[in-house]
Amino acid sequence: MRSVVYESFGRPEQVLKVAERPRPEPGPGQVLVRMVLSPIHNHDLMTTAGSYGIRPALPAVGGTEALGLVEVLGEGVSHLRAGQRVAGGASETWAEFYLADAARLVPVPDGVSDKTACQLIAMPLSAKMILAELGLKPGDWLVQNAANGAVGRLVSRFGEEQGIRVLSLVRRDAAVEELRALGIDRVVSTEGADWPERARAFTGGAPILHGIDSLAGEGPSQLALVMADGGTISSFGAMTNQPLQVPPALLLFRRITVNGFWAAKPRLSPQEIGRMVGELVQDAAAGRLALPVSGTYPLQEIAEAVKASGEAGRSGKVVLTP
């Protein structure tokens, strides 16, 4: 079967190649899934580069989420059936077939499109989880950067649904209108020098005590310009590929706390996470949650797909198909 593999860590567009590998066989509690669509997430590319929190043994196959069709059931799996559409987290999903733990697979209702289903869990669940872990209440303010990314858009949506006031920062003026077209109105571009004043105008003087940084580099310092003393910044990602820069003055004189969030090490109970997954499936089935795709590429065009995933102004995820 064809798979997207890498034999060394490095720039994804250079080290990712298509190769033939044996089709795996499911063990007890596992399912063999025929891949339909699999998104390219930032953490997939960081893993390929060797800079993520998980470093797989090499050679490795890329991909961590997909929509697929159940092909073969492993021993002890009785709640799924052959041919059923399933989504959710797995490993080595950038292949014609992949193995998954049956307990982690989510049956996909008929009304959910393939494009939404293939990315239904990782990013939406992370957005719900970080809002829950921050302990935000209705009326609280939250500021985030990289707000036009997949998680940023979802944080804005889920936050507003919970009565949380989300201030969204973007790095391009054009991204402001892109988000407003999605119904996200509290948006400020940081291109102009006066952006902090324009950002504060949204709050009416109310303190912002929580921030989500997905940029790294100078991202935390940027958020701190509109946050109140004593606030907390949660590091979510590193889209700039730069080391996190936190001036001592933020910690010493403004008493701002910087911590990290990683969905792979949640502070929430399995029951809470299961409830959130159920909400996502229900919203998608009811048509309340649709996740866009900006481009679909066959496995053999992985280099072009990686390049497309890094383009500014994408309307949605780039996904792979067999």
Q: Return the HEC string of 231-279.
A: CEEEECCCCCCECCCCCHHHHHCCCCEEEECCCCCCCCCHHHHHHHHHH
Residue type, 177: E
Residue type, 101: D
CB 136 within 8 A of CB 166: no
Structural domains of the chain sorted by starting position, each given as residue range(s) with its CATH number in brackets: 2-120+291-321 (3.90.180.10), 123-260 (3.40.50.720)
The per-residue pLDDT for 314 is 84
The distance in angstroms from the start CA to the end CA of the chain is 10
3-state DSSP call for residue 60?
Answer: strand
Nearest to 36 by CA among 124, 119, 121: 119
The per-residue pLDDT for 89 is 87
The per-residue pLDDT for 50 is 95
Residue 204 DSSP class = T
Identify the band that residue 311 occupies on the pLDDT scale cut at 50, 70 and 90.
confident
At 108, give phi and psi (nearest 5°). -100, 120
pLDDT tens figures, 163-178: 999 999 999 999 999 9
CB 59 within 8 A of CB 3: no
Structure tokens at 219: 């991202």
Half-sphere exposure of 116 (CA within 13 A, CB side): 18
pLDDT above 80 for 239: yes
Identify the band that residue 196 occupies on the pLDDT scale cut at 50, 70 and 90.
very high
The per-residue pLDDT for 103 is 94
The pTM for the full model equals 0.93
Identify the band that residue 216 occupies on the pLDDT scale cut at 50, 70 and 90.
very high
Residue carrying the six token digits 């079967």: 1
The per-residue pLDDT for 45 is 96
pLDDT above 80 for 58: yes
Residue carrying the six token digits 């490095």: 10
CB 34 within 8 A of CB 52: no
Residue 290 DSSP class = -
CB 241 within 8 A of CB 171: no
CA 298/CA 187 separation, integer angstroms: 35
Nearest to 316 by CA among 57, 119, 58, 159: 119
Mean pLDDT to the nearest integer, 144-173: 95
Distances (CA, A) of 76 to 87, 101, 215: 20, 11, 43
Work out whether strand 60-61 and strand 106-107 pair parallel, antiparallel, or are unpaired: unpaired
pLDDT tens figures, 255-302: 999 999 999 999 999 999 999 999 999 999 999 999 999 999 999 999
Structure tokens at 130: 């970080």
- Residues 6 or more apart whose CB falls under 8 angstroms from that of 265 comprise none
CA 319/CA 311 separation, integer angstroms: 14
The proportion of the chain whose per-residue pLDDT surpasses 70, expressed as a percent, equals 100
Nearest to 236 by CA among 41, 91, 62: 41
The per-residue pLDDT for 192 is 87
pLDDT tens figures, 121-144: 999 999 999 999 999 999 999 999
CB 210 within 8 A of CB 132: no
The proportion of the chain whose per-residue pLDDT surpasses 90, expressed as a percent, equals 93
Q: Give 123-153 as a DSSP string.
A: HHHHHHHHHHHHT--TT-EEEESSTTSHHHH
Mean per-residue pLDDT over the chain, rounded: 95
The per-residue pLDDT for 313 is 75
pLDDT tens figures, 71-112: 999 999 999 999 999 999 899 999 999 999 999 999 999 999
